[in-house]
Amino acid sequence: MARLLSSIPGIGPITATALAATVPDATMFRSGREFAAWLGLTPKQKSTGGKDLFGRVTKQGNSYLRHLLVIGGTQRRSVSKGTVPGRRWLDRSSA
């Protein structure tokens, strides 16, 4: 499992082994957003009256995994130049 995870851009061997050791079963998550919520990477949602309000990132979950994934994402963004899949999404999300 760690070898498969390390093939994802931005995920190195340390992050891959930490994910493989920590996540009990990846099929228990219906989506990537649900997995991110489990890690504590999504903002707390306070919706009322049909209006979506997002608060701060809750920071619940495994702080070590969160730290490794943020470092990997930052590294991936700083290294990728030119036409890399996902580059426009990264530029748009940081603006």
The residues near 94 (Cβ < 8 Å, ≥ 6 apart) are 77
Chain segment 82-93, per-residue pLDDT in tens: 555 555 655 665
Q: Is 63's pLDDT higher than 50?
A: yes
Chain segment 33-50, per-residue pLDDT in tens: 888 888 888 777 777 777
Q: What is the mean pLDDT of the chain?
A: 77
Question: Residue 89's pLDDT is what?
Answer: 59
pTM: 0.60
Q: Mean pLDDT across the stretch 51-65? A: 76
Task: Report the C-alpha gap between 70 and 76 in whole angstroms.
Answer: 10
